[in-house]
């Protein structure tokens, strides 16, 4: 059905109608604003609902409102979507009826929240995610304790990426010439696939895709700096019994390379195409890759914070400073040289990361090690022990070009372009270029608290409202629903 009005256009997109032509350019009315929010658009502030239809749409859009009993056909459709009506739906008559009937007939599901560096969904419904917050801190290169002899540069981010796949995490079409290693750690360049995944253990299953021939397919764990970590024979010509399964483990910053040992140039025969590669969180048979990666540009270089990418609402929570720019003084009450300076905007007792000094929190100054930074909860001062220098002026000069990232006292809000994250039916895996992700998504399976919440709706809210006291047992609730006949 071809959409004609603005409301048609919103509902065609929301109900995933095959004739949807896109969202209107501008939300004008109250209903437009609710539908725009439901469709995943950024709406600064939703209007207060006035009519029955307003209240249903406002509730679906996330507002806390009391809804009326349904009267009209439209009421019944919207009540079903809002989760307050589960009976038979009236037959559609008008264009809007058809869109709403299609929307209400879809499984509405249960809203779940997941948090972690990699998120595994098993009960996804094909709906856009309600929210996805990507949290991140400063990036520090190198390894070991930072010191003047082991400088570990600190960097921020100018963009974030979010990847959502199905069960298979390996994009086998993304083949290119890559740096990799032989079994004895000798560096080489071969055609292959690079898997940049969060730290963790992964399953890898190789099965045959064609009968064209045999290849020599190997795997490497490679460190963040590109150095060799480990080697694995995956397919050794025709001698490997397929399918074969193995696992690999990545630590922070490591990545996995799968490559064709015989493809030393782009003109070589693509023997990776002889095989199906399945990389997953749980052991599984091959399924095609169905992933997509979205990139979110940040407004500036940000060293730490978070971004709720669906709504485009970010918060900068870390700053960075050149220690040579501060006004330093020496505390003379300690035998070893101890220097202090105030950092404007720093959180009291802030967590810090320095490129050339080791950082601590709330250490007794008498036990603070040489070449170390300390912060304390009572003030926004930095304290640094530096035994090689006695006077503050020489110390200030030595700190020139030494960078320290620190937690801010007051987070700074920022905006990004709202980015829709589409959840697939069933299995989904989501990760980002940040450190931690918090996702709200619609799933087909309810956990116990949600079952109780839905049961409360069926009971008309008479027995409990999001409180633990006086909740009926399952048996009591079922007895109520059956009219006391149990």
> How far apart are alpha carbons 36 and 11 in whole angstroms?
10
Residue 1 lies inside a defined structural domain of this protein: no
What per-residue confidence (pLDDT) applies to 118? 97
Q: 76 near 88, Cβ under 8 Å?
A: no
The average pLDDT across 408-415 equals 98
What per-residue confidence (pLDDT) applies to 447? 59
What per-residue confidence (pLDDT) applies to 87? 86
Residues 281 and 387 in one domain: no
Residues 307 and 424 in one domain: yes
DSSP 427: E
Q: 222 near 257, Cβ under 8 Å?
A: yes
Cβ-based neighbours of 312, under 8 Å, separated by 6 or more: 42, 415, 416, 417, 418, 419
Residues 50 and 93 in one domain: yes
Q: Of the candidates 106, 125, 148, which is a domain's last residue?
A: 106
Residue 222 lies inside a defined structural domain of this protein: yes
Residue 319 belongs to what H/E stretch? strand 313-322
Range of the domain at 204: 167-289
Residue 131 lies inside a defined structural domain of this protein: yes
- pTM given for the model: 0.74
Residue 50 has pLDDT above 70, yes or no: yes
Domain count, the chain: 5
Residue 45 lies inside a defined structural domain of this protein: yes
Residue 471 lies inside a defined structural domain of this protein: yes
pLDDT in tens, 301-323: 999 999 999 999 999 999 999 99
Q: Percent of the chain having pLDDT more than 90? A: 71
Neighbours of 29 (CB within 10 A): 12
Q: Hey, what's the torsion of the CAs at 343, 346, 347, 353, to 10 degrees?
A: -100
Residues 340 and 201 in one domain: no
What per-residue confidence (pLDDT) applies to 246? 97
Residue 93 has pLDDT above 70, yes or no: yes
Residues 305 and 420 in one domain: yes
Cβ-based neighbours of 411, under 8 Å, separated by 6 or more: 305, 315, 316, 317
What per-residue confidence (pLDDT) applies to 81? 86
What per-residue confidence (pLDDT) applies to 471? 46
The average pLDDT across 289-295 equals 97
Residues 400 and 369 in one domain: yes
Tokens found for residue 410: 């007051």
pLDDT mean across residues, the chain: 90
> How far apart are alpha carbons 437 and 430 in whole angstroms?
9
Q: Which position has the higher pLDDT, 175 or 81?
A: 175
What per-residue confidence (pLDDT) applies to 382? 96
> How far apart are alpha carbons 217 and 200 in whole angstroms?
22
Which residues in 117-226 belong to E strands, given as ranges? 118-124, 131-136, 139-140, 154-155, 157-165, 176-181, 187-195, 200-208, 216-222
Q: Of the candidates 396, 414, 432, which is a domain's last residue?
A: 414
What per-residue confidence (pLDDT) applies to 18? 82
Residue 450 has pLDDT above 50, yes or no: no
Of 407, 408, 157, 433, nearest to 301 (Cα)? 157
Residues 275 and 329 in one domain: no
CATH classification of the domain holding 216: 2.60.120
Residues 65 and 210 in one domain: no
What per-residue confidence (pLDDT) applies to 111? 80
What per-residue confidence (pLDDT) applies to 455? 44
Residue 336 has pLDDT above 80, yes or no: yes
Which value, in Å, is the radius of gyration of the alpha carbons in the chain? 29
Residue 41 lies inside a defined structural domain of this protein: yes
Residues 147 and 282 in one domain: no
**94-103, 140-149, 206-215, 261-270: lowest mean pLDDT where?**
94-103
Secondary structure (3-state) at 81? helix
Residues 389 and 399 in one domain: yes
What per-residue confidence (pLDDT) applies to 446? 63
What per-residue confidence (pLDDT) applies to 473? 53
> How far apart are alpha carbons 78 and 9 in whole angstroms?
17
> How far apart are alpha carbons 261 and 209 in whole angstroms?
18
Residue 486 lies inside a defined structural domain of this protein: no
Q: What angle do CA 20, 24, 29 make, to 5 degrees?
A: 125
pLDDT in tens, 8-31: 888 888 887 888 888 888 888 999
Residues 65 and 143 in one domain: no
pLDDT in tens, 393-409: 999 999 999 999 999 99
The average pLDDT across 153-182 equals 98
Q: 49 near 73, Cβ under 8 Å?
A: no
> How far apart are alpha carbons 233 and 222 in whole angstroms?
15
What per-residue confidence (pLDDT) applies to 468? 38
Residues 156 and 304 in one domain: yes
The average pLDDT across 338-365 equals 95
> How far apart are alpha carbons 94 and 102 in whole angstroms?
12
Residue 228 lies inside a defined structural domain of this protein: yes
Of 284, 223, 288, 300, nearest to 256 (Cα)? 223
């Amino acid at each position: 059905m071809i959409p004609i009005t603005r409301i048609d256009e919103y509902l065609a997109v929301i109900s995933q109608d095959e004739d949807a032509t896109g969202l209107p350019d501008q939300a004008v009315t109250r209903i437009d604003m609710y539908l725009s929010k439901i469709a995943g658009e950024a709406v600064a502030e939703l209007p207060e609902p006035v009519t029955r239809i307003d209240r249903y749409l406002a509730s679906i859009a996330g507002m806390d409102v009391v809804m009326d009993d349904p009267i009209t056909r439209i009421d019944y459709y919207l009540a079903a979507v809002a989760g307050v009506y589960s009976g038979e739906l009236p037959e559609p008559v008008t264009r809007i009826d058809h869109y709403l009937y299609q929307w209400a007939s879809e499984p509405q599901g249960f809203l779940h929240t997941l948090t972690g560096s990699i998120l595994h969904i098993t009960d996804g419904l094909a709906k856009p995610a309600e929210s996805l917050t990507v949290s991140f801190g400063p990036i520090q290169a190198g390894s070991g304790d930072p010191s003047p002899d082991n400088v570990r540069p600190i960097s921020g981010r100018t963009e974030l990426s979010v990847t959502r796949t199905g069960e298979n995490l390996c994009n086998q079409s993304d083949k290119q010439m890559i740096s990799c290693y032989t079994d004895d750690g000798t560096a080489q360049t071969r055609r292959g696939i690079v898997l940049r995944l969060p730290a963790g253990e992964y399953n890898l299953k190789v099965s045959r895709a064609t009968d064209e021939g045999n290849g020599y397919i190997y795997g490497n764990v490679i460190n963040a700096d590109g150095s060799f970590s480990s080697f694995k024979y995956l397919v050794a010509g025709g001698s490997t019994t397929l399918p074969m399964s193995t696992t690999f483990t990545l630590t922070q910053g490591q990545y996995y390379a799968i490559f064709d040992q015989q493809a030393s140039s782009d003109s070589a025969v693509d023997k990776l195409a002889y095989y199906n590669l399945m990389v997953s969180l749980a052991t599984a048979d091959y399924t095609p890759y169905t992933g997509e990666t979205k990139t979110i540009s940040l407004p500036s270089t940000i060293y730490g914070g978070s971004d709720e990418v669906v709504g485009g609402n970010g918060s900068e929570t870390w700053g960075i400073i050149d220690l040579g720019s501060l006004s330093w003084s020496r505390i003379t009450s300690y035998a070893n040289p101890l220097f202090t300076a105030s950092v404007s905007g720093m959180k009291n007792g802030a967590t810090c990361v320095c490129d050339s000094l080791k950082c601590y929190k709330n250490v007794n100054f008498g036990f603070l090690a040489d070449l170390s930074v300390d912060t304390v909860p009572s003030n926004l001062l930095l304290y640094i022990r530096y035994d090689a220098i006695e006077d503050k002026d020489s110390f200030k000069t030595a700190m020139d070009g030494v960078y320290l990232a620190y937690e801010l006292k007051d987070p700074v809000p920022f905006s990004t372009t709202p980015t829709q994250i589409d959840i697939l039916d069933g299995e989904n895996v989501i990760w980002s270029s940040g450190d931690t992700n918090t996702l709200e998504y619609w799933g087909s399976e309810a956990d116990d608290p949600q079952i109780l919440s839905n049961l409360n709706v069926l009971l008309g809210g008479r027995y409990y409202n999001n409180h633990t006291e006086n909740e009926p047992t399952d048996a009591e609730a079922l007895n109520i629903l059956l009219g006391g006949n149990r």
